[in-house]
Structure 1
Amino acid sequence: MSSLKTLLAAVGVAVGLAVTPVAAQESGGTLVMVVQPEPPNLAPYLSTSGPIGQVASKVYEGLITVGPDFKIMPGLAKSWEVSDDGLTITFHLQEGVKWHDGEPFTSADVQYGIMDVLREIHPRGGSTLKVIESVDTPDDMTAVFHLAEPAPYLMVALNGYESPIVAKHLFEGGNPRENETANKPIGTGPFKFVEWKKGQYVRFDKNEDYWQDGKPYLDRIVVRFIADAATRTAAVESEEVQYGAFGAVPYFDVERLSQLPYIDVTTEGYGYIAPIMQVQFNTEVKPFDDPKVRQAIAYALDRQFVIDNIWFGFGKPATGPISSLFKPTGLYTDEVIDFTVDDRMEKAAALLDEAGYPVGSDGVRFTVTHDITPYGEEWSRLGEYVKQALGQLDIAVDLRYEDVATWLKRVYTDYDYQFSSNFLYGLPDPVLGVHRQFHSNQIRPGTVFVNGMKWSSPRTDELMDAATTETDPEKRAALYKEFQQLVVEASPIVFMHEMEFVTVYNDMVKNLESTGPLGVYTNFADVWMEQ
């Protein structure tokens, strides 16, 4: 337990979710939630940007849902069978499902959405779903997936956050990257899009034709965008806002708010994502084309300091590309280069000298630009820390802070950057969340949250490919051990810390435990409010 969590527990704050009896459910009410920053679009089929998923998940759905303890539960598919050889999955779809424009949902939507949209343009779909060779539609209510090889990781990835199904009749014949649903989403979910007032809010109203009888319980969800941190905190305190996840309420305000009798705090609802905060390099531009320079930066940045002073104790130092949450599976190893040694600054300076970057007559080795993740105050403070820390090595750092859309384009389309802060999700299996960052086939200009470092190696590609299909746990662990060691040695990324997010919510919001490990990334069909 982190120092802040210990403090919260000491003052009696809930750090888990209380279970509410099913019989107490009530219908009605408007849930006002805050998301920071405002998403650049509402197209989860196009981007895995955190704010997009928090908002659009109320509209779109997947074939399955992920329940507590990662139990795979029915979604748009009511049941399924997997062949003995693992190469065929037959999904039987829910009947009576309609898109929000009134058109019927059929297996044709599943086939088109998987093969023509998610596999092609979804940031993780190109890796996660590439194993799907084809989808047959023998009738409107049956979709048959044919796989190139067994893929035990696939089922969990077919949830609405990870693999949102889109309407074929709205996408076919056009460029999915330019579809008008990017700003006016049309899905099958429990809430219908009403309007988006840029800079203010998105409004969703109850889908009266939702296929799950009696749901959703809420009449409306309003997602507010409040740029100023103090104003977000004040909105929660005054009960104008009842819910904020992913640190929408600044960490430094959590302790004070948690002492209010009507406010609860939890770190539950993030088990699916296994996020790692990182500093990533463009390995094709100087000086970060040299692994010695990248290692030097890895030594220079103090992970525990960042956790304690910027993220207020929420998190633990990361050692590599795979989270320690995978330790029980055997896929995690800490037998990698340790960048947290006592003489780390001396090692960093020596590496810079070896790389041919001595201190110049002006007292500076070189000047670089750090692009800050535009997700709020913690990230700005991280940028200031990076500047100060590298200054101790006589490296001058300029900071650049842009809006989300501009930053994403700079890093993942134009590659017009030197190094940037970021955080990516490890997800329930490395195939889902880790491979996309490091495989050579994931250098995909215009696709966000993939290999933006433009680093890869034949050996790490080989290891990831082998681990994708390896079913023997010990052999798979050995493959990932070598993979982690090679990636940490090359250091295309400085793995800073395993993030621990906080959700702050009003106690009138009930049944949040129903959201399971996906938390705010679920559709909130089962969430209700005490009237």
Structure 2
Amino acid sequence: MSDKFKTTRRRLLLSAAAIPLVTLAGLTIPVAPAWADDSVLYGPSDPAAKQGGSLTVGSLIEPPSFDIYHQAGEAVNFVAPLMYQTLVYADHDGNPHPLLAESWEVSEDLTEYTFRLRSGVTFHTGQPLEATDVKYGLDYMRNPDNGTIGALDFADLEEVEVVDPLTVVVRLKKPNSAFLITLTHRNGSVVPRNWFDGETSRTELNSKSVGTGPFKLAEFVQNSYMRLQRNPDYWQPGLPYLDEIIINFIPNSAGMLVAARNGRVDMAVLVRPQDADQLKNDTSLTVQRSRSLNQKSLDLDSTYGPLEDERVRRAVALLIDKEAVMQAAISGYGQVLGMMVPGMQDRWGVPLDDLPNQKVDVEKAKALLAEAGHPDGIDLELRTIIGYDWMEPAALTLAQQLQKGGVRVTIERLDLGTWLQNFRAKKMGFTLNDWGTPPDPNILYYRHFHQPPEGADFRNWANADGSRLLDEGRQTGDDGKRREIYNEFQRLLAESVPTVMMFGSDHIVVVSDAVRNHTMHPIGWHFGLVKTWIDQE
């Protein structure tokens, strides 16, 4: 570490929770105890917990692969955090806590982060975790030539310096008020240094895991199941409780209900929350319902046919009755959205009534289409993803609603792999989407809507005002000012309509009587299984 680095910056020692707050140099910065409180990691602890046993989980969604650095899409996120860990963990309320980091220091201008790593942590490969591994992962992830999914999330990194085996310094080009929360995403997962140098390293991740997490990948049989086994060398004493987790990939919701009823699975994640109604009278099962950071949206590629015209996109928005779509798709087990996910609405969201283009107005929609040169209406292909059961009834309902204003829709069903190819190639067209976010608006919006090269702008929105607001929001540390900026951005999104955020579904998980201490993280990833246990008596 340079002498200049040691002596010229006043530093704030930070970690654990984002309270209380202190304002310095115009920035609102979280202040917390210097060291980690491990009890908050992965949800509440249970003093009655017993070790051992196998848990079988049913899932409709199967990851195409477990290449966590390159595989896009939400499917891999659900289980990857059980095998791979990041420097920072975000709790259910969105507060950052040390995970692989034992503590951290942050400069007043939010451009320099010094992380002290835990000692005694080993990868599943057996080698010890060191600062060099952290540097390798961040440098690899931020390099756009590597084709990683998180390159843009870490584009502001200027330098990653190894100070000693357990200390790493991350310097940013600009202040980034969301950097700690950014590190909670699996894009920040730490893997052994030089892992991706091997010719077969990416495909090997489908047969073994190389993280530091509480579980190891034992088997992955595509179109069938995956099996995770307890990591005996895991660094948190006594965790995880389970010896084994088996995740069965079940092709449809009907099969999931049968599996839950007959005990073939101990836990079922219901993609269609309304299926819980059919289990209410089963006394051997418990339905858990919790808030989410998820959204079900309709994306409008601004280069796709008539959608290039903002007036056409606004017309589409004015024809959508979000409540009716939510009822058709998930029977009301969720929350109608404006431009913010449910778990962040209170802190960051603009009320629905304060946003444009939220109420159905068929006549105005027709007038906008005529003004845009389409008096006889338009024809669009609406894409859905096979395996996302809510999309089929949602698409049918949308088609009926849109037809009333002259937007004629045909439905095209794509497999997840093809859909992801279109997504990464920025050829989304007119499509339903299903995605979640770590709890910060910068992470929700920046990569998806900022113009290139800083953002991916997946919907080809190309909005300079939107990009300016996103830059301001990222570089502002004061929460009050950030809220003003992101409120303005939400109004711009709602007016220009590169996307229609329709609703966020609640997390619905069905568990058998033997399952104890399970909680679902708002982001929908299976963090809670680390502290789940099975009552085998």
Specify the TM-score bucket, using the shorter chain as the normaliser: 0.7 to 0.9
> Within 5 A, what are the aligned runs for 1:324-363?
325-329=343-347, 332-334=350-352, 335-341=354-360, 344-359=361-376
Structure 2 match to 1:447: none
The answer to whether residue 532 in structure 2 is matched with residue 527 in structure 1 is yes
Structure 1 match to 2:501: 495
Distance 2:343 2:126 in 1: 43
Structure 2 match to 1:136: 161
Q: Deviations over 1:354-388 (max 9, x none)?
A: 111122xxxxx332211113342211111222222
Moved more, 22-31 or 419-428: 419-428
Q: CA deviation at 1:405?
A: 0.5
Structure 2 match to 1:432: 443
Letter in 2 for 1:252: Q
Q: 2:289 aligns with which of 260, 263, 267?
A: 267
Q: Deviations over 1:252-294 (max 9, x none)?
A: 32022133223222233x55xx222211112112111111111
Tell me, what secondary structure is at the counterpart of 2:210? coil
> Within 5 A, what are the aligned runs for 1:54-65?
54-65=78-89
Any conservation in 2 of the 1:36–1:51 contact (CA below 8 Å)? no
The answer to whether residue 366 in structure 2 is matched with residue 379 in structure 1 is no
Any conservation in 1 of the 2:111–2:174 contact (CA below 8 Å)? yes
Q: 2:129 aligns with which of 84, 90, 105?
A: 105
Q: 1:452 aligns with which of 438, 458, 469?
A: 458
Q: CA deviation at 1:443?
A: 8.4
Q: Deviations over 1:179-217 (max 9, x none)?
A: 532564321111111111111101111112222222221
Q: CA deviation at 1:406?
A: 0.9
Any conservation in 1 of the 2:469–2:485 contact (CA below 8 Å)? yes
Instruction: Provide the TM-score with structure 2 as the length reference.
Output: 0.84
Letter in 2 for 1:318: L
> Within 5 A, what are the aligned runs for 1:175-214?
178=202, 180-181=204-205, 184-214=208-238
Provide the alpha-carbon RMSD of the alignment.
Answer: 2.6
Any conservation in 1 of the 2:182–2:438 contact (CA below 8 Å)? no
The answer to whether residue 412 in structure 2 is matched with residue 400 in structure 1 is yes
Answer 1 or 2: higher relative contact order, Cα 8 Å, separation at least 6.
1
Distance 2:529 2:185 in 1: 12
Structure 2 match to 1:413: 425
Tell me, what secondary structure is at the counterpart of 2:163? strand
The answer to whether residue 301 in structure 2 is matched with residue 282 in structure 1 is yes
Uncovered stretches (5+) of structure 2, i.e. residues with no partner: 1-42
Instruction: Provide the TM-score with structure 1 as the length reference.
Output: 0.85
Q: 1:60 to 1:479 in 2, by over 3 A?
A: same
Q: 2:317 aligns with which of 274, 281, 298?
A: 298
Structure 2 match to 1:464: 470
Q: Deviations over 1:320-358 (max 9, x none)?
A: 2x34654543553542213314xx111111111111112
Q: 1:419 to 1:260 in 2, by over 3 A?
A: same
Letter in 2 for 1:62: T
Tell me, what secondary structure is at the counterpart of 2:502? strand
Any conservation in 2 of the 1:124–1:436 contact (CA below 8 Å)? no
Letter in 2 for 1:145: V
Any conservation in 1 of the 2:155–2:454 contact (CA below 8 Å)? no
Q: 1:53 to 1:327 in 2, by over 3 A?
A: closer
Q: 1:319 to 1:517 in 2, by over 3 A?
A: closer
The answer to whether residue 364 in structure 2 is matched with residue 318 in structure 1 is no
Distance 2:391 2:405 in 1: 22
Any conservation in 1 of the 2:176–2:476 contact (CA below 8 Å)? no
Any conservation in 2 of the 1:43–1:185 contact (CA below 8 Å)? no
Distance 2:58 2:469 in 1: 41
Letter in 1 for 2:390: E
Moved more, 253-262 or 275-284: 253-262
Identity %: 27
Tell me, what secondary structure is at the counterpart of 2:55? strand
Q: 1:72 to 1:410 in 2, by over 3 A?
A: closer
Aligned length: 492
Q: Deviations over 1:380-420 (max 9, x none)?
A: 111222222223234332211121111111233261x5300
Distance 1:98 1:502 in 2: 34
Any conservation in 2 of the 1:64–1:156 contact (CA below 8 Å)? yes
More strand by share: 2
Structure 1 match to 2:103: 79
Distance 1:210 1:403 in 2: 36
Q: 1:442 to 1:275 in 2, by over 3 A?
A: farther
The answer to whether residue 259 in structure 2 is matched with residue 253 in structure 1 is no
Q: 1:164 aligns with which of 173, 186, 189?
A: 189
Q: CA deviation at 1:523?
A: 6.7
Any conservation in 1 of the 2:241–2:531 contact (CA below 8 Å)? yes
Q: 1:333 to 1:388 in 2, by over 3 A?
A: closer
Structure 2 match to 1:4: none
Distance 2:310 2:118 in 1: 52
Any conservation in 2 of the 1:119–1:125 contact (CA below 8 Å)? no
Q: Deviations over 1:39-73 (max 9, x none)?
A: 11112322452221112222111112233444433
Tell me, what secondary structure is at the counterpart of 1:233? helix
Q: Deviations over 1:404-452 (max 9, x none)?
A: 111111233261x5300002335311111112221002687xxxxx532
Distance 1:259 1:126 in 2: 48
Tell me, what secondary structure is at the counterpart of 1:351? helix
Any conservation in 2 of the 1:157–1:432 contact (CA below 8 Å)? yes
Q: 1:292 to 1:499 in 2, by over 3 A?
A: same
Any conservation in 1 of the 2:78–2:524 contact (CA below 8 Å)? no
Any conservation in 2 of the 1:317–1:496 contact (CA below 8 Å)? yes
Tell me, what secondary structure is at the counterpart of 2:330? coil
Q: 1:495 to 1:225 in 2, by over 3 A?
A: same
